[in-house]
Structure 1
């Protein structure tokens, strides 16, 4: 019985390691896919710095 308990415990430890490696690799793959998609998607252009259009004054000089 003790031998079987020891064997099952060792098998469980091996399975835990395999699952951890699998999850780590899966997360790495997901993160790299997110980075690639973020690089490939076009970014929204921001307007150049300067006064906003509503703040521009127009003076009419005339008669």
Structure 2
């Protein structure tokens, strides 16, 4: 009985995580929402709208650069 309850809870949790992960996804050609990120060596964060005023914006993430292999 308890293992069935735990299994059901885990499946419901996984389903919720999978559905929530795609809720805010953008499609090809969609505009990115306004956001701000901290800038290295600056007091003020950098806003997407400020960068778009200067030209196209490319966001590159190198997550695995500092992780051990």
- TM-score interval (norm. to shorter): 0.3 to 0.5
Q: If the length of structure 2 is used for normalisation, what is the TM-score?
A: 0.38
Structure in which a larger fraction of residues adopt helix: 1
Computing the radius of gyration over CA atoms, which structure comes out larger, 1 or 2? 1
Structure in which a larger fraction of residues adopt strand: 2
Structure possessing the higher relative contact order (Cα contacts under 8 Å, 6 or more residues apart): 2
Q: If the length of structure 1 is used for normalisation, what is the TM-score?
A: 0.42
